[in-house]
Amino acid sequence: MAAAAPVSEYQLKAVFLFNFAQFVEWPASAFPQTSAPFVIGVLGKDPFGADLDDVVRGEAVNGHPLAVQRYQNVGEVRDCQILFIPAAEFGHVGELLARLKGRSVLTVTDADEGPQRGVMIGLITQDRQIRLRIDVEAAKVASLTISSKLLRPAEIVGTARS
Amino acid sequence: MSMARKFRPYFIEGRDRSRFKRSFHQFVPLLTSLSLAFCGARALADPNVADVPSTGDLKQLSLEDLMNVKVTSVSKQPQKLLQAPSAIQVITSDDIRRSGATTLPEALRLADNLEVAQINAHDWAISARGFDANLANKLLVLIDGRAVYTPLYGGVLWNVQDYLLEDIDRIEVISGPGGTLWGANAVNGVINIITKSAQQTQGLYATAAAGNQLQDFGGVRYGAQVAPDVYLRFYGKYFDEGDVITSAGANAADSWHMARGGFRMDAHQFGDNWLTLQGDVYDGGENYGVAGDSDLSGSNVLGRWTRTLSADSGFTLQAYYDHTYLAQPFAASPPAQFFRGFPAASLMDTLDTFDLDFQYHLGWGERQKIVWGFGYRETHEADEDLSVVRFAPPVLNQNLYSGFLQDEIAVASNVQFTIGSKLEHNDYTGFEVEPSARVQWNFDPKELLWAAVSRAVRTPSRYDHDLEVPSGLVDAPPPFQFPEDYLKGNSNFLSETLIAYEVGYRATLASRLSGSISAFYNAYDDLRSTTSTPTTATYVFPFPVFFQNNLEGDTYGIELSTSYQVLDWWRLHAGYDLLEEHIHVKPGEVDATGATNETADPQQQFALRSVMDLPRNVQFNAALRWVDELHINNGPTGGPAIGIVPSYFELDTRLAWHVTRQLELSLVGQNLLHEYHTEYGFPSPTREEIARSVFGRITWGY
């Protein structure tokens, strides 16, 4: 029977990343040129398969076409606007954040630890649903402005709270 | 990675999980027609409405709606398990709630890698990888970093270890040695019971239950924010369990009750500092038939300061004080010829423990993570000097000093090597060293292979070292000499040692299937034996028998655990353990029990659990377990005779209905297949049988 409607976990997470592109404001300095693509980076082994590519296909944000880039390791990370750190890669987060310091990159992870050590958004699976945890302060430090539409359903963590 | 954090052992607790519960409640489920279709319960009610939503459909949803979409999550296990190079299993708070368990030992039945045998209404034998005796002594148990084993016999008094189960965040059960981080007694396994932070347990929660065995049960918790970033909770719990019966059919007269309460405060207002202060008190008693009642009480207070220094460094400082008191009654033994008799008495044991631990972790270059720490523990134990049993000396102060160092080295991006050791000094045996080496290979993000070699020790307990059980024999007719004691500890008792070799594989095999398998080979030396005293023409008794370290041998086995998400609303779980034990007396030595005293273990056991979310906010849980027969010895002075505890099937179920968001009604059945069944004990008319238990429960809050 067709009982189960399997939304795969990473299909759903890919859609969340797509939404973040809409609900976060990047400074103009985050893009090398006005026509540069809006890059969603994925660190390490990519858990999305084709899902993330499907989500961004044909989409643009403020004139920046969306694109996906995959980085095998921290050393490969280049200009991107969102960087997804899969749970399995969370061990490298210290090294990664040191590298991203001073750059306007929205860092997102689905590690159970959630946003900490400066990672901004956690996508946490609980009761088979995705929960959002956001460290507003960490985003501010990177000159990112998160829309209240995104904050409202989220759990706010970190040192500063609205 | 796995063994890196002692106090927050595996998954980072506290800070980030903590606000979850409240924000969860802020969601009023916005059930659009589309998200309804994804919802498992709805799908069950009307299988035809469910369509696989396309990515395009999902992109049209609001954020709130997206958060209502159910995913086909494989397992509730935190993904970090895929980085855990040990045979770890995690019991989540959801698992506990759905199981219907009301006490800790019942909740531990959810770990496939544990043996849990209920001895009578109030006692359990719990172990991993064998050696599950009623005085099982090879497992270390910590509740929020506080070691709860008793130095009296090196085991855990499960009748006094409990908590309001709803406030437990998770129970991590590691089978296999953990001595490198946790020290002596983490020989066959480690259980870490981790409670939720005060912030996660805000508001009022109340629960009550009543049934045939669980006669009264009640629990209440209240949590509040007391200052910005400072949260506090108080809890209380009481239960009263009825008698079981003996194999002769008589009332076993072992009903018991326990009341406990406590608090936890969490504060994190100072940036990178996290402060926890918590404490518990308990008081209860057990019926011991004609001997009278036992008296059990205790209290503890623990403080912990965790500070994050940088992205990859920080420290934890923890101190606790723990006081326990137990008075166990002994019935009078009337005098007889050559026997002076014993008056009714009560063995009173008072234990005060002060413990201090410090742990520091730091990144070292690009590839290494170092964890080091040290600890100090002081115990003061006083045992009443009785004619029927005593410990010499009756009052004993002991000091334990320890230090450890561990290095995790990333030898490649997905291969990690961890090496470390503990060094500790105890008053009985001096220095002990517990090194280990582990390697993990995440050859795929969803698959992990690991292997480990470890050494662990069980240091002597007062039972091994200081015990004296008088014979009570007097007035020997000449020329015979009668022994003063018939069982004695040994002041030269050594530490028991283990070298363990383990391999394991853990994987998310498909989007709906996950599992783990581990295999081990354990080589033991200097295990406890009992030796009888040689008889002579004038000394005709083989007493006292006394403890020595004359056993050695090996055990091996496998542990299998797997979860399968059959449908969105239905998950199946299966676990299986196989254990072979070959313990023997060292060449040229003897053991009064023929090396059988500690190994009343099932060769095989399996568990099958079904977890269902049904329509109309109904949940149904069923847990079937099968435990192989036990070959059990009658204790150190009972000789080598072996009795059988028959294999058994048992079934636990829980049916729960969430009437409203706050109110839940449930009906729980435990051990439903038999009115009475035996899980442990040498065959005798007084061996106790465990009763079928059915109770109804109402819960408000959450």
Best A129, A150, A152, A161 residue to mutate vs chain B (most B CBs within 10 Å):
A129
End-to-end CA, chain A: 47
pLDDT band at B479 (very low <50, low <70, confident <90, very high): confident
Token digits of residue B701: 């809050």
Residue B442 to residue A88, Cβ atoms within 8 A: yes
Do B282 and B162 form a contact (C-beta atoms < 8 A)?
Answer: yes
Nearest-by-Cβ selection for B567 from A3, A93, A124: A3
Angle value at C-alpha B15, between B12 and B16, nearest 5 degrees: 80
Q: Which tens digits make up the pLDDT trace of B51-97?
A: 446 777 788 888 888 877 766 433 233 345 666 788 988 898 889 99
- Write out pLDDT tens, residues B370-392: 999 999 999 999 998 788 888 98
* Residues 528-587, chain B, touching A (beta carbon < 8 A): 567-568
Structure tokens at B678: 């035996």
Residue type, B361: H
Q: What is the pLDDT of residues B643-661, one digit of tens each?
A: 999 999 999 999 999 888 7
CB B221 within 8 A of CB B233: yes
The pLDDT value recorded for residue B575 is: 97
Min Cα distance A28 → chain B (Å) is: 25
Binary contact (A5, B15; C-beta < 8 A): no
Q: How far is B53 from chain A (nearest CA, A)?
A: 7
> Three-state SS across B174-218?
EECCCHHHHCCCCCCEEEEEEECCHHHCCEEEEEEEEECCEEEEE
Percent residues over pLDDT 90 in chain B: 57
Fold of A9-23+35-157: Rossmann fold (3.40.50)
Write the DSSP assignment of B314-333 as a string of letters: EEEEEEEEEEEEEEEEE--B
Instruction: Determine what percent of chain B falls in helix, strand and coil, rounding each to the nearest 5.
Output: 10, 55, 35
What is the reported pLDDT for A92? 82
Q: Among B374, B467, B377, B451, which Cα is nearest to B416's?
A: B451
Among residues B137, B158, B177, B117, the alpha carbon closest in space to that of B547 is found at B137
Residue B38 near chain A (CB below 8 Å): yes
Q: Does the distance separating the beta carbons of B79 and A112 come in below 8 Å?
A: yes
Write out the two tokens for B161: 């270890």
Compare CB distances from B67 to A88, A122, A130 and report the shortest one's residue.
A130
Q: Mean pLDDT across the stretch B400-408?
A: 94
Q: Write the single-letter amino acid at B336.
A: A
B52 close contact with A: CB closer than 8 A = yes
For the residues B119-147, what does the mean pLDDT come to? 93
Closest CA to B163 of B187, B138, B141: B141
Q: Is the pLDDT of residue B48 over 70?
A: no
Is residue B117 within 8 Å of residue B679, measured between CB atoms?
Answer: yes
| Cβ-Cβ contacts under 8 Å for B60 (sequence gap 6 or more) | none
Average pLDDT over residues B501-530: 91
Q: Cβ A128–B70 below 8 Å, yes or no?
A: yes
Interface test with B, best of A77, A100, A112, A134 (most B CBs within 10 A): A112
Once rounded to an integer, what is the mean pLDDT over residues A38-67? 88
DSSP string, A54-87: HHHTT-EETTEEEEEEEESSGGG--S-SEEEE-G
Chain A contact for B15 (CB, 8 A cutoff): yes
Q: Is B154 left (phi over 0), alpha (psi -120 to 50) or beta?
A: left
Contacts of residue A125 in chain B, CB cutoff 8 Å? 71, 73
Contact at CB, B568 and A6, closer than 8 angstroms: yes
**pLDDT tens track for B572-618:** 999 999 999 999 999 999 888 888 888 999 999 999 999 998 888 89
- Mean pLDDT for all residues in chain B: 85
- Separation of alpha carbons A20 and A55, rounded Å: 12
- Strand order through the sheet with A106-109: A60-61, A64-71, A38-43, A82-85, A106-109, A121-126, A129-135, A155-157
Determine, for residues B58 and A45 on separate chains, whether the beta-carbon distance falls below 8 Å: no
Among A77-86, B18-27, B226-235, B527-536, the range scoring the smallest mean pLDDT is B18-27
Q: Is B629 exposed, middle or buried (0-12, 13-18, 19+ CB in 10 A)?
A: middle
Q: Tell me the per-residue pLDDT of B285-304, one tens digit each, with 9 for 90 and over.
A: 999 988 899 999 999 999 99
Contacts of B391 (CB under 8 A, 6+ apart): B383, B462, B466, B467, B468, B489
Q: Are B435 and B455 in contact (CB under 8 A)?
A: yes
- Residue B558: name the closest of B579, B573, B575 by CA: B579
Residue A14 has pLDDT above 90, yes or no: yes
Confidence of residue A31 (pLDDT cuts 50, 70, 90): confident
The residues, any chain, with a CB within 8 Å of residue B412's CB and separated by 6 or more, are none
pLDDT at B332 exceeding the cut of 70: yes
Which DSSP state fits B196? Answer: P
For chain B, how many helices (H) and strands (E)?
A: 10, 39
- Give the minimum alpha-carbon distance from B62 to chain A in angstroms, rounded to a whole number: 9
In angstroms, the CA B685 to CA B248 distance is 5
CB B269 within 8 A of CB B229: yes
Mutation pick from B63, B270, B566 vs chain A, by most beta carbons of A within 10 Å, is B63
CA–CA separation, B513 and B92 (whole Å)? 18
Examine the pLDDT at B186 and tell me if it is beyond 80: yes
Look at residue A2 and tell me whether its pLDDT is greater than 70. no
DSSP string across A106-162 = EEEE-STT-S-TT--EEEEEETTEEEEEEEHHHHHHTT-EE-HHHHTTSEEESS---
**pLDDT at position B310 over 70:** yes
**Sequence-separated (6 or more) residues with CB below 8 Å from residue A51:** A8, A10, A11, A14, B55
Mapped onto helix, strand or coil, the DSSP state of residue B702 is: coil
**Residue A97 to residue A80: CA distance in whole angstroms:** 13
Q: B216, B263, B201: which is closest to B236 by C-alpha?
A: B263
Q: Is A4–B94 a contact, with Cβ atoms under 8 angstroms apart?
A: no
ipTM of this complex prediction, to 2 decimal places: 0.85
Residue with tokens 């498992």: B40
Q: Taking the CB of residue B271, how many other CB atoms lie within 10 A of it?
A: 9
Count of Cβ atoms closer than 10 Å to residue B92 Cβ: 17
Q: How many CA within 13 A on the CB side of residue B158?
A: 26
- Cis ω for the linkage preceding A27 (within 30 of 0): no
B551: tokens are 């056993």
Question: pLDDT tens-digit profile of B92-125?
Answer: 888 999 999 999 999 999 999 999 999 999 999 9
Preceding omega of B683 cis (within 30 degrees of 0): no
Beta bridge partners of B383: B349
Q: How far apart are CA B651 and CA B276, in angstroms?
A: 39
Q: Which helix (H) or strand (E) holds B668?
A: strand B663-670
Give B449 to chain A, closest Cα distance, Å. Answer: 14
Which whole-number Å values give the CA distances from B642 to B487, B549, B639, in the listed order? 20, 21, 9
Whether B40 and chain A come into contact, CB under 8 Å, resolves to: yes
Query: Quick check: B632 pLDDT over 50?
Result: yes
Separation of CA B410 from chain center: 32
Closest CA to B3 of B356, B406, B341, B502: B406
Q: Which residues of B touch A110 (CB under 8 A)?
A: 79
Query: Tokens for B456?
Result: 């662990």
- Mean pLDDT score of chain A, rounded to an integer? 84
- Residue in chain A closest to B50 (alpha carbons) equals A5
Query: For B66, which of A16, A98, A159 is closest by C-beta distance?
Result: A16
Can you give the pLDDT at residue B70?
A: 66
Interface mutation target, options A9, A12, A68, A119, chain B, most CBs of B under 10 Å? A12
Judged by CB atoms closer than 8 Å, whether chains meet at A87 and B94 is answered as no
Residue B270 pLDDT: 64
pLDDT above 60 (res B670): yes
Q: Which residues pair with B468 in a beta bridge?
A: B390, B488
The pLDDT of residue B581:
96
- Per mean pLDDT, which range of A17-31, B11-25, B294-308, B343-357 is the poorest? B11-25
Nearest to A5 among B51, B64, B73 (CB): B51
Give A96's pLDDT tier (boundaries 50, 70, 90).
Answer: confident
Name the CA dihedral angle for B146, B147, B152, B157, rounded to a multiple of 10 degrees: 90
pLDDT-based confidence at residue B44 (cuts at 50, 70, 90):
very low
